[in-house]
Amino acid sequence: MMKKWKLFALLVLTLSLLLVACSGAEEGTDQVQASGDTVTLYVYNWGEYISDGSEGTLDVNAEFEKWCRETLGMKVKVNYSTFSSNEDLYAKLSSGAASYDVVIPSDYMIERMVKDNMLRPLNMENIPNYEHINEAFKGENVYYEGEKTGEKAGVIYSVPYFYGMVGVIYNTSVVPETEENIGSWELMWDPDYDREILQFNNSRDAFGTALYKLGYDVNHATEEQWREALEELKEQKKLVQGYVMDEIFNKMKNGSAAIAAYYAGDYLSMYEGYEGEGELGFFYPKEGTNSYVDAMCIPANSKNPTLAEHYINFMCSREIGIANAEYTYYASPLDTVVEDEEYRACMAEVHEDAMNILYGSAQSVPTQAYLNLSPEGLTRLNNLWEELKIESSIGDGIYIGCGVILAALLALVISLIIKKRRWAKLYD
């Protein structure tokens, strides 16, 4: 009888442990935390896009780890890494080479990832601070999550992190204020500034500059219009110093380049840290430009989705939202940030027109957001980009190199002919 009782007790204990383990696996973090181990939350974001504790700023990732200890009773370590373009992010996630818990892509890439079932629907009960997000970034205004019908009705895949527009930055010591092309995309194609121009090192933004310049729809351009945009970029490449992303900061701040298309928030960072003569000016091109939203998402293969939702909610809290906005200088979608007087005063110290650049100038020029292209459109864009970059990097060099080689061969042939004639004369 005693043996049967022990056997029964052992069976009950085993079943209990299995239930706990299964419960932990479903929540994503409980199973790991049950053993007292440290949970690692993997976050993948753009470079220079979070308050990191440098120069006296608030280290928001460290604050989240502290919040987890004090509020959730969990040991959490945020493993934070960065990417330089949406395309790099997509390539890494789709390859399965890495697993992340929170990623922050841009609008058109979110649409693509939703379509490819790469993102996990959010449990909004874990993100109560979503109520502080401005209504302009909710409901049907979330154009980048696809159709909200059937099973997807009411489903939310992302929470806005920052938003903004693309403009043109220029060095006033090189580009005079009397320059007629200020205010137009034409400035980035002006031959007077040969090798002073920087272009985006990603296909969507680079082609966007050419399509906006031409007045074409960046989402529904025809085959002929895409080819025309390529020809524009081929002409521009003769003037371009380089194709860059994060490298733009040093090049513009130290005066080694004078003109570049980039994001408004980054312009304010460059303006504040500028080290050369004159100052950095900025405008939104009159022909039209890109407006975008970068948002926090959870990949479908996240190992800690519940903790990831807590992280997203934490990023939407007032103190953390202000810290990030004051560090990055990007436009915040949080009403609690935009309405804060200390935040507004801080931005005015950076640039007297900062709040208008970030939140008011959108009314002055036409804007268009990028949408996810069709598979055929993506293939076309990738092929055109490769054609541009290959020609950009080796096209002229091949012609010059071939010319040098042919000249050398011709000189060698002539030399041999002359020598042969000399030898012939000697033996005659």
The answer to whether residues 91 and 204 belong to one domain is no
* pLDDT at residue number 147: 78
154 belongs to a structural domain: yes
- pLDDT score, position 184: 98
Buried b / exposed e across 97-116, counting CB within 10 Å, b at 16+? eeebbbbbbbbbbbbbbbee
Average pLDDT, the chain: 87
pLDDT of residue 35: 53
Average of per-residue pLDDT across 191-218: 97
pLDDT for res 148: 73
Cα–Cα dist 63/77, whole Å: 11
| Residues 6+ positions from 365 with CB-CB distance below 8 Å | 284, 285, 286, 287, 288, 289
**Total structural domains within the chain:** 2
Task: Compute CA distances 74 → 35, 110, 179, 319, whole Å.
Answer: 11, 30, 58, 22
Q: At residue 22, does pLDDT exceed 80?
A: no
| The pair of three-digit structure tokens given for residue 259, joined into one six-digit string | 């003109």
Q: How confident is the model at residue 416 (pLDDT cuts 50, 70, 90)?
A: low
Average pLDDT score over residue span 174-184: 96
Residues 142 and 180 in one domain: no
- Whether residue 386 sits in one domain with residue 239: yes
**CB pairs under 8 A, 24+ apart, for 419-425?**
none
Q: Per the structure block, which two tokens stand in for 39? A: 């949970």
| CATH, residue 231 | 3.40.190.10
Same domain? 63 vs 170: no
Does residue 409 sit within a domain?
A: no
Residues 228, 276 share a domain: yes
Residues contacting residue 149 through CB under 8 Å, at least 6 positions apart: none
> Is 200 within 8 Å of 209 (Cβ atoms)?
yes
* Structure tokens, 9: 């007790």
Answer yes or no: is 345 within a domain: yes
Q: Are residues 142 and 100 in the same domain?
A: yes
Same domain, 278 and 343: no
- Does residue 316 belong to any structural domain of this protein? yes
Of 226, 227, 235, residue with least CA distance to 185: 235
Residue 311 belongs to domain spanning? 19-162+293-368
With a cut of 60, say whether residue 392 has pLDDT above it.
no
Closest Cα partner for 166 from 186, 185, 142, 143? 185
122 domain residue, yes or no: yes
Q: What whole-number distance in Å separates Cα of residue 197 and Cα of residue 213?
A: 16
Residue spans of alpha helices (H) in 262-395: 264-273, 305-315, 318-328, 335-338, 341-350, 354-359, 375-390
**Same structural domain, 208 and 75:** no
**Based on the domain organization, do 194 and 153 belong to the same domain?**
no
pTM: 0.82
Residue 233 lies in a domain: yes
Shared domain check, 339 and 233: no
Give residue 85's Cα distance to chain centre.
Answer: 5
Tell me: pLDDT of 30 over 50: no
Examine the domain organization and report whether 304 and 156 are in the same domain: yes
Please check whether residue 13 lies inside any domain of the structure: no
Share above pLDDT 90 across residues of the chain, in percent, rounded to a whole number? 76
Q: Is the pLDDT of residue 239 over 80?
A: yes
Say which range, 59-68, 242-251, 394-403, has the weakest mean pLDDT. 394-403
Specify whether 263 is located in the same domain as 382.
yes
Whether 278 is covered by a domain: the verdict is: yes
Residue type, 147: E
